[in-house]
Amino acid sequence: MKFIIALFVVALFAWYLSYSATRLDRLHHRVETSWANLDGLLQRRAAIAIEIARSEISDPASAMLLTFAAHQAREASVRDRSQAETGLSGALGILIETATEISGEIEKDLIRELSELTEKIKMAIAMHVDAVTRTQLVRKKAINRIFRLAGTAPEPVTYEFEGDVL
Amino acid sequence: MPLSKKRIGIVCPYGWDTPGGVQSHVRDLAEYLIREGHFVSVLAPAIDDENLPEYVTSAGRPIAIPYNGAVARVLFGPIAFSRVRHWISQGNFDVLHLHEPAIPSISLLACWAAEGPLVGTFHAAAKRQKVTFAVAPFLEPVIEKLNARIAVSEAARETLTEHLDTDAIVVPNGIYASLYRDGTLDSRWTGNTVGFIGRFEEPRKGLSVLIDALPSIIAEIPDIKIFVAGPGESADTVKDMQPSLRSRFTFMGRISEHEKANFLASVGLYIAPNTGGESFGIILAEALAAGASVIASDIPAFDSLLGHGEYGTLFESENSQDLAAKVIELLKNAEGRKAIAERGKVYAQAFDWDVVADKIYDVYQMAMVGGTGVTLSSENRAWNKLLGRQS
């Protein structure tokens, strides 16, 4: 009898371990997906920023600032990424605030595309931040730490995009 | 919207044949997406399997349970679960959109059973409740599978953050703003009038709050008239009323969409005195789109829809005296009323389906990054194999 109970407990524990591992795996996958999504949108924004720098909207000084910020954002490592992107947001913000009259179809299209992208980036950030915090929370649970259920998956990096995307 | 057509599965937790905000939202969204060229399948509980639209699959008969102070027609149980699983495995969906996955119904079952791009929409806005904290440890592993969460209002988003400790993107419920944009004035309803639309017999719609406020309003505005549109037995509602009050009421029964637009454009004030149980307040969005000046109780959903009073006047819920004072103030100030209504009309364009459905589709796209479709959850798959069930 005792043996059966012991067997049952072990089986239950094994199930719980496999369940926790699946859960963590799924969360890591969610972080990867949401990051891929955010990264794609940010890359597109950097590309638009460079186009804006080359367009009629920018004066030479802001063109330089913008190009610099855009390249920095593209080349930043994951950990420095949010700071670099905030820099690009700032550079774009200054330009759009000070640009008095935007004429020309290409320029208007660029600005429209940028504002649509900004909306999407806001959503993507919210999705990614949520995935990251949730994953970090679950990784911290004792059972996951003791049995190293996260395996070799890297700890997700918190993204400090302070909601100031323009 | 993009050219690529997607296979979209939507799960509605409440009985399809019962009227309700979530059901209408799901119906309008599904039909909008179908018109855009996508393949859409809706899974919902239904009493009558025969007369469902082509895109709806029945998951079985709903069960009426008391939930959150009202009767909810939901569905769960082993049979429903196997139907949900069957629908998911046969659907071959690119994305799955689950409505109210935190209430005990088929959306929760679908969230449990599925894996891949999942989007959840949270409608309910409730005050802090201890019960929800008790079930949170069970809900969290399920809810965390959602790639993206949508809340229909700021109030719903706060509820979600408080109860389940997770954030959401706010996308409101949709209306067909063009239906309401050009309502014409109808002299039957203009003047010192108050309009009300809804199933007035239900206590939570709050018509009694208005009835209690009426004597004080009459003292200041003698020619006040109340028009009530919506299904119900008016005789029961007025039988306890004094004759002097009764004569103020006109019950019109159901009105057509076209009449509704004219009605909303004509009445002096549109009132929503609901005492609770409202998740969004779609009728207020429609009233605003029609250019009505609106007065509503300050329940969370209305407070957030009306921008804390920016686009319509709020009174303290269930407080007839406050309601009377606000109605008198508004009816005496035509200029101020008009100014708010004009702001409201512009603001209400944001609820148009063209805007709302685009936003929802943006969220779908973000969830779909990575390219894998929706499948049955892997842990279930392993166990089903072991138990010899076909997946």
CATH code of the domain covering residue A81: 1.20.1440
Place of tokens 């639209």: B53
Length of chain B in terms of residues written: 391
Q: Is residue A67 part of a domain?
A: yes
CATH number of B177-350: 3.40.50.2000
**Interchain contact, B366 vs A23, CB within 8 Å:** no
Across the A:B interface, residue pairs with CB atoms under 8 Å apart total: 50
Check CB contact under 8 Å for A40 and B369: yes
- Strand, helix or coil for residue A138: helix
Q: Which residues of A113-122 are buried (b: 16+ CB within 10 A; e: fewer)?
A: ebeebeebbb
Residue A67 — left, alpha, or beta (φ > 0 → left; ψ -120 to 50 → alpha)? alpha
Interface test with B, best of A43, A130, A144, A165 (most B CBs within 10 A): A130
Q: Is B378 on the interface with A (CB under 8 A)?
A: yes
Pairing of strands B70-74, B63-67: antiparallel
Q: Is A76 helix (H, G, I), strand (E, B) or coil?
A: coil
pTM of the model: 0.85
User: What CATH number is given for B7-174+352-386 in this structure?
Assistant: 3.40.50.2000
In a domain? residue A90: yes
Task: Name the minimum distance, in Å, from the CA of B114 to any CA of chain A.
Answer: 12
Whether A83 has its CB under 8 Å from any CB of chain B: the answer is no
Average pLDDT over residues A55-69: 82
Q: Is residue A9 part of a domain?
A: no
Residue A166: inside a domain: no
Rounded to whole angstroms, the Cα distance separating A34 from A131 reads: 7
User: A42: closest CA among A9, A86, A10, A91?
Assistant: A86
Closest CA to B249 of B271, B275, B220, B281: B271
Residue A126 lies in domain? 21-146
> Is residue A161 in some structural domain?
no
Quote the distance between the C-alpha of residue A114 and its chain's center.
Answer: 17
Contact B141 A23 (CB under 8 A): yes
In sequence order, what are the residues at sequence separation of 6 or more whose Cβ sits closer than 8 angstroms to the Cβ of residue B352? B174, B175, B176, B177, B178, B289
Residues of B in contact with A119 (CB under 8 A): 362
Q: Which helix (H) or strand (E) holds A113?
A: helix A105-140
Q: Does A129 touch chain B (CB under 8 A)?
A: yes
d(CA B298, CA B270): 15
Contact A134 B144 (CB under 8 A): yes
Instruction: Print pLDDT tens along chain B (391 aa).
Output: 455 889 999 999 999 998 888 999 999 999 999 999 999 999 999 998 888 999 999 999 999 988 766 788 899 999 999 999 999 999 999 999 999 998 889 999 999 999 899 999 999 876 666 666 677 778 888 888 999 999 998 888 888 888 887 888 899 999 999 889 888 888 889 889 999 998 888 888 899 999 999 999 999 999 999 999 988 887 777 777 888 888 889 999 889 888 999 999 999 999 999 988 777 889 999 999 999 999 999 998 899 899 999 999 999 999 999 999 999 999 999 899 999 999 999 999 999 999 999 999 999 999 998 778 898 887 655 555 556 554 4
Q: How far is CA A99 from the centre of its chain?
A: 29
Residue spans per domain, chain B: 7-174+352-386, 177-350
The verdict on residue A164 lying in a domain is no
- Looking at the predicted structure, is the pLDDT value of residue A145 above 80? no
d(CA B162, CA B204): 25
**B294 close to A (CB below 8 A):** no
The answer, for B115 touching chain A at a CB cutoff of 8 Å, is: yes
In a domain, A74, yes or no: yes
Interface ipTM: 0.80
Question: Among partner residues B147, B363, B382, which is closest to A33 by beta-carbon distance?
Answer: B147
- Does the residue A31 lie in any domain? yes
Count of domains for chain A: 1
